[in-house]
Amino acid sequence: MQRTLLLAKIHNCTLTGANINYVGSISIDQVLLDKAGILPYEQVQVVNNANGQRFITYTIPAPENSGIIELNGAAARLGITGDRLIIMAYGQFTPEELKNYSPTVVIVDEKNRLLEVRHYDDLLSKV
């Protein structure tokens, strides 16, 4: 049996734009995708802290170190520039894979510049 758990998240990033005329998805700075281990076109859940919206879309890489986090297509109606988002990817794991598993957490500043990469076990031990 496999279980679905959080694989990685980009925590408290800032929405930099919304493009209703784009085909669809969320554009994310390639550096942040790489650090989180989230692939281009991978399914993600997006939570908008400003308005409570939760939705599923897929990622598209934005230029490295651009700080871009942009909602595209229909998702562009679910946030406005400046909203704070949490972007989460999930994975399927076997019980064996879960023995030494901890999700990756990418922490950014208000301009979506990488501050640090942590793992949930590290973060929870500090609480």
Distance between CA atoms of residues 10 and 119, nearest Å: 12
Distance between CA atoms of residues 80 and 76, nearest Å: 8
Whether residue 27 lies in the annotated active site? no
Catalytic residue among 22, 25, 66, 101: 25
Secondary element (H or E) of residue 97: helix 95-98
Whether residue 66 lies in the annotated active site? no
C-alpha separations of 6 from 32, 88, 103, 123 in Å: 16, 7, 6, 14
Backbone angles phi, psi at 52, to 5 degrees: 80, 0
Catalytic residue among 27, 58, 101, 125: 58
Q: Catalogue the active-site residues.
A: 25, 58
